[in-house]
Amino acid sequence: GESVGLHLPTLSVQEGDNSIINCAYSNSASDYFIWYKQESGKGPQFIIDIRSNMDKRQGQRVTVLLNKTVKHLSLQIAATQPGDSAVYFCAETLRNSGNTPLVFGKGTRLSVIA
Amino acid sequence: ETGVTQTPRHLVMGMTNKKSLKCEQHLGHNAMYWYKQSAKKPLELMFVYSLEERVENNSVPSRFSPECPNSSHLFLHLHTLQPEDSALYLCASSQDFKYGYTFGSGTRLTVV
């Protein structure tokens, strides 16, 4: 039969509004988290990271929030622009436990409406 | 450019062909990775090399054969692939495993 495409969660946001992308991570022992952005035709690019001893970290127009109690990570993008349209992935790992590769989430597709 | 270069960008191959994907990193990193990204599944870790030694092989079929001749180069040798192997193959590198990965732009592989 014909292949079915992966149906990613999609968030549509009006240009200029704020975006919030959520991620539930799997391992309560994970101590380092990263958000990646993947534009069409490109590989994932690092946006921002956060360690488990923090609950909030801000970058340029982006903020990551970490809630370890419910294993939840969110990425907030202020004043969303058309160039923010992409798939966003969260990733987790244990930095202090030897060689543990990143584990990626399924991703959320952000569409910015001009 | 991210500092991780993958070639070719696009590849179409028959099921009986043998081809290789190349990845080169100019970041001085000591770990390199192959990921598969397909329409059916998100990023799947295939192989991990640390200091040129393979440290992880996630039950990948033997028709995929990685090679890491030095810390800057990583290859993925392909032979007798199946149509379901069609995907975007991404290479990444990092310093140890403690920091974020830098990805290349990927090779879009189509098996016909």
**Stretch A9-24: mean pLDDT, rounded?**
95
pLDDT for B106 equals 96
For residue A93, report the phi and psi dihedrals to the nearest 5 degrees. Answer: -160, 170
What is residue A1's predicted lDDT score, i.e. its pLDDT? 32
Rounded to whole angstroms, the Cα distance separating B95 from B14 reads 36
Query: If we measure between CA atoms, which residue out of A36, A28, A10 comes closest to residue A105?
Result: A36
Q: What is the tens place of the pLDDT at every residue in A105-114?
A: 889 999 999 8
For residue A98, what pLDDT is reported? Answer: 62
Percent of chain B whose pLDDT exceeds 90: 71
Banded model confidence at residue A13, pLDDT cuts 50, 70, 90 = very high
Partner-chain contact A104 B43, CB within 8 Å: yes
Picking from B23, B56, B99, B111 by the largest number of A CB atoms within 10 A of its own CB, the best residue to mutate is B99
According to the model, what pLDDT value does residue A8 have?
75
Q: Residues A57-103: pLDDT tens digits?
A: 999 999 999 999 999 999 999 999 999 999 999 999 887 666 678 88
Pairing of strands B107-111, B10-13: parallel
Q: Quick one: pLDDT at residue A99?
A: 63
**Is any Cβ of chain B less than 8 angstroms from the Cβ of A113?**
no
Report the pLDDT value the prediction gives residue A97, as an integer from 0 to 100: 65
pLDDT over 50 (residue A5): no
Contact A102 B55 (CB under 8 A): no
pLDDT of residue A62: 98
Structural contact between residues A51 and A59, judged by C-beta atoms closer than 8 angstroms: no
Nearest CA in chain B to A31: B98
Which residues in chain B show pLDDT less than 70?
40, 97-98
Tell me: cis bond preceding B42? Omega within 30 of 0 counts.
no
Cβ pairs bridging A and B (under 8 Å):
62
Subunit contact A34:B100, Cβ cutoff 8 A: yes
Check A101 against B45: CB less than 8 A apart. Answer: yes
- Model pLDDT, residue A4: 37
The least confident of A33-37, A40-44, A80-84, B84-88 is A40-44
Cβ–Cβ below 8 Å for B48 and A101: yes
CA distance B112 to chain A (A): 14
Give the contacts of A64 (CB within 8 A, at least 6 positions apart). A33, A35, A48, A49, A50, A56, A57, A73, A74, A75, A76
